[in-house]
Structure 1
């Protein structure tokens, strides 16, 4: 899958692709160069997912600002939704 094509996929399809990449990298028959290439693709896809989740959260905050106050913060979600602002 080309990286430029991945920007047209839904977040669910991107997550499925990340799962495929993980399985292939974990396979001992996968070569080093192929693993590195897939790892790079996975990083790019993960960044796209993070951006889309941040955008979705912003939309929800506009629609229902009170809901954002109720969302529990964990170290993982804090990092995920940290926009640097």
Structure 2
């Protein structure tokens, strides 16, 4: 997948090819994000205001299609269009 991440020098961001995340916890779903906002919190993360996090994937407000649902997910199914609120 393509992702915007905090660069290794923690001086900004870069677009990279990144391994697709796996579902590892109860209640998770994997969403293929089509559109994603970058908010002020992402800028704080990129600038290291919350600690040094090189490689951290940015963007947490998105729209996409559910690709996979994990154990315990009852309200979503593969193919559902979803929005991802900032607090999830």
Question: Higher strand share goes to which structure?
Answer: 2
The TM-score normalised by the length of structure 1 is 0.24
- TM-score norm. by structure 2 comes to 0.24
More helix by share: 1
Q: Which has the larger radius of gyration?
A: 1
